[in-house]
Amino acid sequence: MATQTETLPSAVGSLSLSGSLSPLKSTGALEQYKPVELTPVIGTQFRGVQLGDLLDAPNADDLLKELAITIHRRNVVFFKEQKAQLTNDQLKRLATKLGQLTASAAGTEWGGLHIHPTEKHRDDNEISPITAQAFGAGRKRSRQTGSLLASRGWHTDITFEPVPSDIAILNVWEIPENGGDTLWASAYEAYDRLTPALAKFLEGLTALHDGNHFHKVAELQKKPLYDGVRGHPLNDGANLQAVHPLITVNPVTGWKGLFVNQVFTKRIVELSEDESDHLLKYLFTLVRENHDLQVRFKWEKNDVALWSNTSSYHNVTLDYTGYNRTGHRAVSLGSKPFFTSEGKSRREDLGLGAWIE
């Protein structure tokens, strides 16, 4: 896509911290619930622990702050064997608490709950109904216009917003007989797979993120696109574009991540169009083709996934027919994405050694 740099929104890559970087330490408050790490790199799972009980526990703030730290460190956390689906109120309280508790401790702003530009017509606009129909499950692919690659769907939520998401929560209660798995990938590990020379080069760059295809979605839904304030005063208007640093630092972990995704990131601002296209293609390939930085999750009724949009990507599998995968999502807004040289590689910070010799 050709994009004239003169028309780009101004970069928002400045440091949005009130002081220096102060990553949060794990307190071990959730160890009693026996979390299981699903891969060495990404994904932690709890079984039978009721999220509703954590929300109402006398020490809820301690437990939820630790949960938010776990989400940012492990990219995605799953809660299986939930007795009931979460109410919209529980989902919103949870998203608010997770965002607020970590932002105040890390010295960043918490942005609010997002209103998706195509969801304003619903009764509760801070909740996005996630249905198979919306994503086109079961539809035939078009030879002329459609992609035949399932990997095209890798993305990070709403990065077209100047203040994008820190954490998203999805509760799914209607599931197909099989299929419909979701995959997540680690932006920390994608960063750690750059050679030091390339990493250093990318740390000085910014990229344009564009969600203006949602105008077409709104048109197809025959509902006007919501161009009002979407959870934060900076997320306003009909032009769904933002410029973010290409490498960002997660304020909760202090770890550097690769902040580009192939659905929304269109252009590296400081490079020519050709250079940008080639480099972005390689960066997207790093995420798509390294299955050892991904985790694949098989949904069961009432399961909940909570993920860090600051530091991960995800992709749904549209391999089932019929419209029988239904859930609700709440999306918390973080602070403006930023880069600081105080950030560290995850591998370096955990003493794992470099991935590349």
Applying CB under 5 A, which residues contact Fe ion?
157
Place of tokens 């929300």: 55
The residue (of 60 and 217) whose beta carbon lies closer to Fe ion is 217
Q: How far is CA 33 from CA 54, 69, 114, 286, in A?
A: 11, 15, 30, 34
The residue (of 159 and 345) whose beta carbon lies closer to Fe ion is 159
The residue (of 109 and 157) whose beta carbon lies closer to Fe ion is 157
CB of 228 to Fe ion, least distance (A): 22
The residue (of 66 and 157) whose beta carbon lies closer to Fe ion is 157
The residue (of 67 and 168) whose beta carbon lies closer to Fe ion is 168
**Cα 141 → chain centroid:** 26
CB of 36 to Fe ion, least distance (A): 24
Amino acid present at 304: V
CB of 264 to Fe ion, least distance (A): 10
How many angstroms separate the CA atoms of 294 and 71, rounded? 15
Nearest to 117 by CA among 49, 6, 219: 219
CB of 274 to Fe ion, least distance (A): 29
CB of 326 to Fe ion, least distance (A): 15
CB of 43 to Fe ion, least distance (A): 16
The residue (of 276 and 315) whose beta carbon lies closer to Fe ion is 315
The residue (of 119 and 157) whose beta carbon lies closer to Fe ion is 157
Half-sphere CA count of 348, side-chain side, radius 13 A: 15
How many angstroms separate the CA atoms of 115 and 235, rounded? 9
Closest-by-Cβ residue to Fe ion is 157
Contact assessment for residue 111 and residue 297, using Cβ atoms and an 8 Å cutoff: no
- Assigned token pair, 237: 């208007």
How many angstroms separate the CA atoms of 114 and 122, rounded? 14
Exposure of 200 by Cβ count < 10 A (0-12 exposed, 13-18 middle, 19+ buried)?
A: exposed
Q: How far is CA 237 from CA 125, 146, 287, in A?
A: 16, 29, 31
How many angstroms separate the CA atoms of 260 and 113, rounded? 22
CB of 157 to Fe ion, least distance (A): 4
